[in-house]
Amino acid sequence: MNSLTLPHLSALLYPIRQRLESIEISNPQTARSLCKIIPARCPFERQIKLFDYTLVRIPPLCKLNPFYDQIVSLRFKSLVYLADHCGEDVTLYS
């Protein structure tokens, strides 16, 4: 039985990563939409506390996404486009 190992999985995901990295932002509406859709920080990280004592800490599960870095980079490209080319205030998206 041949199982899919990590190097093989990485090789399969590489074209998708490369495609995400190659996306250029050239439309203000697209940039705004991406900034709204992609969160500024991982929304899954939580600390459950009881009287200032941390009972459970849930780590940021976004880091398990194999495309996390490319998606965050896409959000950054959108913010830069809006700030530099459109002259918009990007603090609305933080």
Q: Identity (one letter) of the amino acid at 12?
A: L
Convert the pLDDT of each residue in 32-48 to its tens digit: 999 999 988 887 778 88
Contacts of 4 (CB under 8 A, 6+ apart): none
Number of domains in the chain: 1
Q: DSSP assignment, residue 49?
A: E
Indicate the pLDDT class of residue 14, thresholds 50, 70 and 90.
very high
In which domain, by residue range, is 70 found?
25-93
Q: Assess if residue 14 is contained within a domain.
A: no
- Cβ atoms of 48 and 92 within 8 Å: the answer is no
The residue count of the chain comes to 94
Q: Assess if residue 20 is contained within a domain.
A: no
Q: Assess if residue 82 is contained within a domain.
A: yes
Convert the pLDDT of each residue in 16-73 to its tens digit: 999 999 999 999 999 999 999 998 888 777 888 999 899 998 888 887 888 999 999 9
Q: Assess if residue 5 is contained within a domain.
A: no
For position 60, what pLDDT does the model report? Answer: 83
